Structures are given as structure tokens and as C-alpha cells.
Amino acid sequence: MSEPANWSDFFVASMGAAAALSGLVAVAISINLNHILKHKHLPSRAGEALLILVGAMLISGVGLIPHQPSYLRGAEIGAIGVFVLVMSIVSQISSLRTLKNPPLKWWLTRALTTPFTALPIAVGGIMVAAGNEAGLYWVAIGVLASLAAGVQATWILLVEILR
């Protein structure tokens, strides 16, 4: 059964993980701020990492609101997913405009991260809003992908930036 009450453990755990990773990204930014600011594309990448993780945290919070109608929960989740998707795309376009001939690996990895995080969340939110609670499985995929993207961003901002 896919009732929202059955998802509370998932949302509690994912909220904690997203909050911890958001804090780690903030620490990575503060430790390597001078290195990040030397590269025109990295400030937007750091902001995008925080956006994705805070989006996962907000979605987890929405999932924990008790006695909320499905249409409202779905609309909130979908709106967060769409916001993260649009803002990530805007950030990536802005970043690409600052670079001349960026390595394919850099922008391709970043461009592929967004659909795997935000799209499942947006689709799941729409499904939940339409009364299909199975959309929460899509939301879970997006939240887990967001956590993985957060780990990747932290690695880039802590380690790869110093290479």
C-alpha cells in the first residue's frame, strides 16, 4: 500500500540526510570559497547543489505534514520539483555561457543530474495530486537521486576543485 502515512520513515530519513548533506555542501563552499570564485562556473554549481538538496529536504517536510489532502501534497511536491528543475536549467545555461569549450564530462554530468533529480519529483507530485499515491515512488526516486547528486557535488567542491 502506498498511503502517505506509510512513508513517514522514508521522509524522516531523507530529510535528515538532505539536511546533513546541505550542511556539508555549505562547509565545502566555505572551505574552498577562494577556489570556487576563481572559476566562473563553480558558484552556480555550488548553488545548484544546495538547491537540489534543499528541494529534497522541503519535499520530505511536505511528506511529513499530517492529514494533508493528496491533491495539496501532490501540488506542493510537484511545485518544488518544477522549481528545482527550472532553476537548475537556468543555472546550467548561465554557467555554460561563462565557459569557452567546457570539457564534455563537466557539462554532460551536470546536465544529466537535473532530470534524474527533479523530473521524477515533478512527475510523482502530479500523480499524487491526481489521486495516484503510487506517485510517491517517483518522488522517492527523485529524492534519492538528489541525495546522490549532493554527495557528488560535495566531492567536487571538497576534492576535485583542488586538483
Measured between alpha carbons, how far is 138 from 20 in angstroms, rounded to an integer?
23
- Interval 25-30 mean pLDDT: 92
Residue 9, pLDDT > 90, answer yes
Angle at 85 between CA 30 and CA 32, to 5 degrees: 10
Confidence of residue 26 (pLDDT cuts 50, 70, 90): very high
What average pLDDT does this structure show over 20-29? 93
pLDDT at residue 66 in the model: 92
Identify how many contiguous H helices and E strands the chain contains and give both numbers.
6, 0
Which of 4-8, 75-79, 148-152 is the least confident region?
Answer: 4-8
Residues in the chain: 163
Q: ∠21-22-26 over CA atoms, to 5°?
A: 115
